[in-house]
Structure 1
Amino acid sequence: MKPSSQDRRSEYITGLRELADWLEQHPDVAVPSDERMLLPLLTNTAVEEFAATHGLTIETDSDGNMAVDLRFGCITYHVYGYVDFAEHRKKGEEKQARAWADSNDMVIQPREVASTPSHADRVVAYRNPWRPGVLLCREHGEGWAGMEPLTSDDLPDGGTCTHGDPADPSDVCGRDVLIDAPQTGGAR
């Protein structure tokens, strides 16, 4: 069973008191070299709320990250947050990776990624959502408001452009929308 946050808090406070008593009883043992206790709240908003609740003054670093310190003798309870925690982690991890690479005589370079066509580059036809039988090739469908762009994935059985006069088959485009080659005859 996982202890509740109140149980965890009580255990932590008891542990601090026991540590203080033990250090006092063993003067030959060195105290920790870092006299800060860290409380990451991750966001600046959480730090602002903490500071307002406890009447503390916020310090802001050059990156806009916020922190407050409570001092108990030589011990500091350091509460901190970030403008953007994910970006902060990303920068920290990059810095660490570059330092490792430098120490191993290596250089980090961007990965070459094969470019993938955007959805717009993959459009083969347009469908009129109000007239399901109307299918237009790129030439006849581009630029018309309200037309739904389609890729070959949307047309597993293909299709032909219906642009033109349906009463006159010689005046209908008839282009196979999955084949990019222009056709002769028909509406252009």
Structure 2
Amino acid sequence: MTDRDAYVQGLRDLADWVEAHPAAPVPPNDHLLVPLHTNAAVHEVAHELGVEEEYDNEDFVEHCARSDERRAHEWADKNGMSLRPAKELPEGGEAS
């Protein structure tokens, strides 16, 4: 069984358990968090499911890149360093 197959089976098992336990609490809304990391992926899945898209206007990948850069600058500042753009390497890729 692949990891994906196991995940799908886990969702089925969870649905069966929730159905068999009517007193079990469930989320107060119909939101389901799915790991789609770009707005294009959200659009594609929403279109296939026939549901309305609901996401912020930022791709997750772009969000992570900005967050990583911010944290790197914070770490450098905390450690008495600074980050600056690297100079482009000359032809052949060797630093002088």
TM interval, shorter chain, is 0.5 to 0.7
Count of aligned pairs between the two proteins: 89
- 1:89 aligned onto 2:64: yes
1:39-96 C-alpha deviation (Å, 9 max, x unpaired):
02111111111111112222353xx23xxxxxxxxxxxxxxxx2x51x312444547x
More helix by share: 2
Inter-partner Cα distance in structure 2 for 1:16 and 1:48: 25
Higher relative contact order (CA 8 A, sep 6+): 2
Any idea what SS the aligned residue of 1:37 has? coil
Please name the residue that 2:13 is paired with: 14
Please name the residue that 2:36 is paired with: 41
Inter-partner Cα distance in structure 2 for 1:117 and 1:16: 55
TM-score (norm 2): 0.53
TM-score (norm 1): 0.33
- 1:111 aligned onto 2:81: yes
Q: Alpha carbons of 1:57 and 1:109: their partners in 2 closer, same or farther (altered >3 Å)?
A: farther
Q: Answer whether contact 2:46 2:52 (CA < 8 A) is retained.
A: yes
Shift of 1:9: 1.1
Q: Alpha carbons of 1:9 and 1:116: their partners in 2 closer, same or farther (altered >3 Å)?
A: closer
Structure having the higher Rg: 1
Q: Alpha carbons of 1:14 and 1:92: their partners in 2 closer, same or farther (altered >3 Å)?
A: same
Structure 1: where are the runs of 5+ without partners? Answer: 66-81, 99-106, 121-147, 154-188
